[in-house]
Each structure stands twice: as structure tokens, then as C-alpha cells.
């Protein structure tokens, strides 16, 4: 059974960098079969894709966040991470990590999600 | 960017009702359309991928159809546990991905 679990600070000060980690169990992020992704949801709002990365090193980011986002993989720990710099109150949201299938496997769907972690940006 | 528009934004229905939710893409996306269910304070759950393929473990009362720009999610007989918010998501214009704004399904 594949499980993803987010961890990281729940409170970040404005202008600082938000850092989250997603621990993966039941699958290897080095398998090459998936993209490892971050998605966020502002309180009471819809879903916003942040970015995703493949173990080949390919990464893609939402153009609206691209200048501030870095996703990285740590295959030795079977974890992947999100860094979002220069945060403002507008970055307050629930952050989900998710596994995204290759397009030819399950139409690029996000088939496994972490439970989500609330991050508040406030001084 | 491809925009995804769901309708209705919310609806009320009775247990046992047949319910249909629509998702329209701003341009053709072939069948690269996925559906998710999100219950309060929970992560989204994949229901349908590639427009009409049922994800493993999802009850057969859920079904999806459509291609091109117009898609539907149908719940054949609503169960109490189905009351949630539903999202569509296109993966045609990779690397960019977009979600619909969501449809909230409430108990009448």
C-alpha cells in the first residue's frame, strides 16, 4: 500500500522560504514510473498545481509560481521536497504531496495523495 | 492555458438519486480528463481517469464519459458517503495541469 506523508513547519514568516518534505512508503521514487508532485489548496478554495518532478531530473512548475519554487528528490531517503521562497499571506494553504502517473499509464492522474499539511504565512 | 469549467458549482440531491456533473474544457483535450472526490478535511481521491476508466477500488456507481471538450461524471444512485466536492482535471496540456473549480454535492 503506497502512502505519502507531508511534514514541515505549519507557520512561516512573510518573505521567508516554505520548506516541506513528503515521505513515501510502499513505492520507490526512483522507479521511474511516476512524477512526484505538490498541489495546494487555499482555504475554502479549489486545487492548484505547484509542480512535479521525475527521477530522471525533469521537473515542471506552474508558471505562476515558477520563479519561487524548487522541487527536489532524495532517493536515499525515498522523500521529495518543496521549497517556496519569498512567501506572502497569499501562500497560506493546505499543501498536498501526490504521486502523478505517467500520461500513458493513467492519463497523468494524481493517484495517491498525502493527507495534506496546513501552512500559514504570518509574522 | 486550458480552462476547465464545471457545472453546476453546487447541487443538492437525495440519497438514491442519479446525479451528473459536467466539466467543459476551453479547447479539446481528447480523453485526458480525470475526476476526483474530496470530502471535508480530507485529501482528494482519484475516481476516474482517462475520462471513463474507473480507478481501482472505486464503486461502480461512479462512471465517466466524454471526449474532446465535454465530459460528465455520473453517480447512478447516491449514497450518504458520496456527498463531497468533485473536481475534474485535464492532463492534455502537459506539463501544465489545470483543475476545474469544483462541484459541491450536498444532501437535500
Q: pLDDT tens-digit profile of A29-51?
A: 998 889 999 999 999 999 999 99
Does position B3 have pLDDT exceeding 90, yes or no?
Answer: yes
- In eight-state DSSP terms, residue A34 is E
Contact A103 B32 (CB under 8 A): yes
Tens digit of each residue's pLDDT (9 = 90 or more) over A50-71: 999 999 999 999 999 999 999 9
Percent of chain A's residues with pLDDT above 90 = 91
Tens digit of each residue's pLDDT (9 = 90 or more) over B15-64: 999 999 999 999 999 999 999 999 999 999 999 999 999 999 999 999 99
Does position A103 have pLDDT exceeding 90, yes or no?
Answer: no
For CA atoms B53, B58, B60, B65, the dihedral sign is negative
Please tell me the distance from the alpha carbon of residue A53 to that of residue B20, in angstroms, as a whole number.
Answer: 34
- 3-class state of residue B7 by DSSP: strand
Please tell me the distance from the alpha carbon of residue B22 to that of residue A16, in angstroms, as a whole number.
Answer: 40
CA B99 to chain centroid: 10
pLDDT in the model for residue B1: 87
The x, y and z cell numbers of residue B39, run together, are 470530502
pLDDT in the model for residue B98: 95
- 3-class state of residue A4 by DSSP: strand
Average pLDDT over residues A83-97: 98
By C-alpha distance, which of B7, B23, B37 is closest to B67? B23
**Residue-averaged pLDDT of chain A:** 96
pLDDT in the model for residue A104: 79
Please tell me the distance from the alpha carbon of residue A108 to that of residue A102, in angstroms, as a whole number.
Answer: 5
Whose cell is 495523495? That residue is: A113
Of B36, B43, B102, the CB nearest to A115: B43
**How far does chain A reach from its first CA to its final CA, in angstroms?**
39
Q: Does A47 touch chain B (CB under 8 A)?
A: yes
Using an 8 Å CB-CB cutoff, list chain A residues near B43.
96, 113-116
Q: Does A66 touch chain B (CB under 8 A)?
A: no
pLDDT in the model for residue A84: 98
Amino acid at each position: 500500500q503506497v502512502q505519502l506523508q507531508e511534514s514541515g513547519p505549519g507557520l512561516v514568516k512573510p518573505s521567508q522560504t516554505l520548506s516541506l518534505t513528503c515521505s513515501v512508503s510502499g513505492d520507490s521514487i526512483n522507479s521511474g514510473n511516476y512524477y512526484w508532485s505538490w498541489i495546494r489548496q487555499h482555504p475554502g478554495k479549489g486545487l492548484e498545481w505547484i509542480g512535479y518532478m521525475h527521477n530522471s531530473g525533469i521537473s515542471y512548475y506552474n508558471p505562476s509560481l515558477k520563479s519561487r519554487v524548487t522541487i527536489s528528490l532524495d532517493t536515499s531517503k525515498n522523500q521529495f521536497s518543496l521549497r517556496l521562497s519569498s512567501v506572502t499571506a497569499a501562500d497560506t494553504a493546505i499543501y498536498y504531496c501526490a504521486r502523478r502517473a505517467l500520461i500513458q499509464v493513467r492519463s497523468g492522474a494524481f493517484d495517491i495523495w498525502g493527507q495534506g499539511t496546513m501552512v500559514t504565512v504570518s509574522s | 492555458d486550458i480552462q476547465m469549467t464545471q457545472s453546476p458549482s453546487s447541487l443538492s440531491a437525495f440519497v438514491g438519486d442519479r446525479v451528473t456533473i459536467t466539466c467543459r474544457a476551453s479547447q479539446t483535450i481528447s480523453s485526458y480528463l480525470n475526476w476526483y472526490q474530496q470530502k471535508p478535511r480530507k485529501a482528494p481521491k482519484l475516481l476516474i481517469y482517462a475520462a471513463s476508466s474507473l480507478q481501482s477500488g472505486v464503486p461502480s456507481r461512479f462512471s465517466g464519459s466524454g471526449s474532446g471538450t465535454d465530459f460528465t461524471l455520473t453517480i447512478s444512485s447516491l449514497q450518504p458517503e458520496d456527498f463531497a466536492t468533485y473536481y475534474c482535471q485535464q492532463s492534455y496540456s502537459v506539463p501544465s495541469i489545470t483543475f476545474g473549480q469544483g462541484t459541491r454535492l450536498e444532501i437535500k
